[in-house]
Each structure stands twice: as structure tokens, then as C-alpha cells.
Structure 1
Amino acid sequence: MTVTTYRWTLDRYHQAVEAGIFDDQPVELLNGELITMSPEGLPHAHLTTDGAEYLREVLGRRALIREGHPITIPRSASEPEPDIAIVERLGDVYLTHHPYPENIFWVIEYSNSSLNKDTESKRKIYAAAEIREYWVVNLKQMELIVYRDPVEGDYRSEQKLIAGKIRPLAFLDVEIEVDRLIRRSV
């Protein structure tokens, strides 16, 4: 017996979302497949909120910080909902579509139970979309994993940080304290 899975297109997925089909089911579209999203634990929720607030302080009006909202990756029929997406400020353009890869400076996922999904399938989706950098806050090890330089569907650079400062590629004049992303603010 052959098992065939139904592949969702972005249009069909958007129709289902508009119809309220997934209102009580936390799902995201990855490579044309519906994936159940893990519930947020207390550290995940707190650190995501704290990290987004910190990035708003540091970046000011240079970028829009979106928390837990979709981004659209048409080439892979994906619409992930990263914990934090740092995107261009395009105002009402986002009334007609979620940010596309060309609108995204970088994305951040806070990961505990979803660590494997975030460091494997999502990493490859973001790299294939040529999102310049992708950060994963590994809540198990309290470290920041930084992926950069997307080439042929994967990132060529991976760096793990537990302290210090990092400069995002889109804003090389900005220093971000790793501690403020992986630990509670003081």
C-alpha cells in the first residue's frame, strides 16, 4: 500500500486560514506540509518577549520586530511563524502579504522541544529562501546558534555563542548582547 500525503499550496493554505479551519490548531506550513507547532513553555515565552523588546530598543525604527507572525516563502510553499522576525518596515504592504524573504533581515527561533525541527528543517527552508542569517536560541544549552551564508539550500557558517556581542549582517553598526537574548534581562 502506498501512502500519499496531500501537499498544500500557499493559496489553499491561506483559504483554509481565512475560513478558520485552523483556529484551534497551532500549525504552520513547511514545504507544503502542515506541521503542528509545539506549545510554548514559560522560559520560551518570557525569553522571546524579552528578546523582542531588547531588539526594538537596539534597532529602533530601522526594522520592524514581528513576534510569532507568519513569513511567506513561496518557493518552498512554506509559511513558518518564527518567534521573532526582523523585517523591513513596509507599513500597509503587510495588509496584502506577510514578509517575503527579500523583506527579512533575519529570523530567530527560541527552541526547546522544537530544537531538532528548528535546526534541521527550518534551517534548510530559511537557507533555501536565501535569508541571510538565522539565529536559534537553544534553551536546553542556553546558547545562541548563528547560521549565516546560505548556499544551495543550507548555511555554510554555524557559530555557537554563550556570551559576548554579535553584529547582525543587515546592521553591522549594531552590537547585540548575546546575554540579553538567552537570559533574563537585568
Structure 2
Amino acid sequence: MTITTAKWTIDDYHRMIEVGLVSDRSVELLNGEIIEMPPEGPEHAQMSTDAGDYLRSLLGEKALVRDAKPITIQQTSSEPQPDLAIVQPLRALYRTRHPYPENIFWLIEYSFTSLSKDLDAKRKAYAEAGIVEYWVVDLKNRLVKVLRNPINNNYSDEVTLVDGEISPMAFPEIKVLVRQLLS
């Protein structure tokens, strides 16, 4: 006997939210599956908050930095909630829908217990959607993985940094200090 897992669409997921089916749970839709999100520890929560504030100060009005808010990826039936989504500043549009891949400059995930999910399932979903840049801040090992240039559902360029600076592809004039992301 073959076991088949039922996959959920984004519309199914939104209906579940509307009727309160998942209101008491911390979940996200990833590749058609409803995934429990582990609670954030204090370090994870504060570091991602500090990074969001830091990026806002660097980017000004060039981009909107959204903290732990959903993005919608139709092609993979996903609605993940990255720790930070740096998106086009289309505030009125985001009152009617979450950002789509074409609205996203880059995403950042802070990982402690979720590292394998962030470097596997999320990496593939983001690459398949054509999100050009994805950073994973590994809190256990104190490093930042910068993933760029999605090809064939994966990122073709990967750099690991423990210090120095990163210039996002969308804003090459901006210098993001790695130590600001890690402290």
C-alpha cells in the first residue's frame, strides 16, 4: 500500500486561518504542508529584531523590512514567515495580499533549532520561486550563509561569512556588517 500525503493549497490554508483552525498554533505553509514552527528563544527573537532595525537604518525608504510576516509563493503552495523579508515598499498593496517573490529583494532566516529546515525545504522553496537572495544566520555556529542566483530549485552561489560585510544584490551600494547580524 502506498501512503500519499494530502497537500494543502494557499486557499485551503487561508480558509483554515479564517475559520480559526490554526489560531492557537504557530504554523506556516511550506510546499503544501502545514509545518509547526518552534518557538523562538530570547536570543533568536532579539537578534532578528535588532537586525531588522539595523537594516531599516541602512535602507531607509528604499525597501520595507518585514519581521516574521508571511510571504506568498504560489508555485510551491507556500506561505512561510521568514524572520526578515526585505521587500519593495508597497505598503498599500500589502494590505490586500502578502508580498510575492517578485516583490522580494532578499530574505533572512535566523536559525537555531530550524537550521536543517532553513537550509533544505525553505532553501528549495525560495530558489524554486526565483527569490534571488537568501541569507541564513546560523546562531549555533555564529556564521551567515549567503545564497544567491537560483537555478534548478537551488542556489548556485553560496558564501559563508563570519565577519566582513555583505552588499545585497538589489542594493550594491549598501554595506551590511556581518557582525551586526551576529551580535
Q: TM-score range by the shorter chain?
A: over 0.9
Task: Tell me which residue corresponds to 2:140.
Answer: 140
Residue deviations 1:65-110 (CA, integer Å, cap 9, x gap): 0000000000000000000000001121112110000000000000
Q: Does 1:29 align with 2:29?
A: yes
Task: Tell me which residue corresponds to 1:48.
Answer: 48
User: In 1, Cα distance between the equivalents of 2:152 and 2:168?
Assistant: 21
Task: Tell me which residue corresponds to 2:3.
Answer: 3
Return the TM-score normalized by structure 1.
Answer: 0.96
User: In 2, Cα distance between the equivalents of 1:43 and 1:160?
Assistant: 21
User: In 2, Cα distance between the equivalents of 1:18 and 1:87?
Assistant: 25
User: In 1, Cα distance between the equivalents of 2:28 and 2:56?
Assistant: 25
- Report SS of the residue matched to 1:150: strand
- Ranges in structure 1 where 5+ consecutive residues have no aligned partner: none
Q: What is the CA distance between 1:142 and its match in structure 2?
A: 0.6
Return the TM-score normalized by structure 2.
Answer: 0.98
Q: What is the CA distance between 1:41 and its match in structure 2?
A: 0.7
Give the counterpart letter for 1:20 in structure 2: G
Task: Tell me which residue corresponds to 1:165.
Answer: 165
User: In 1, Cα distance between the equivalents of 2:95 and 2:123?
Assistant: 27
- Report SS of the residue matched to 2:44: helix
Task: Tell me which residue corresponds to 2:128.
Answer: 128
Q: What is the CA distance between 1:19 and its match in structure 2?
A: 1.6
Q: Does 1:39 align with 2:39?
A: yes
Where do 4+ consecutive residues of structure 1 move more than 6 Å?
none
1:72-83 equivalences under 5 Å are 72-83=72-83
User: In 1, Cα distance between the equivalents of 2:160 and 2:181?
Assistant: 13
The percent identity for this pair of structures is: 52
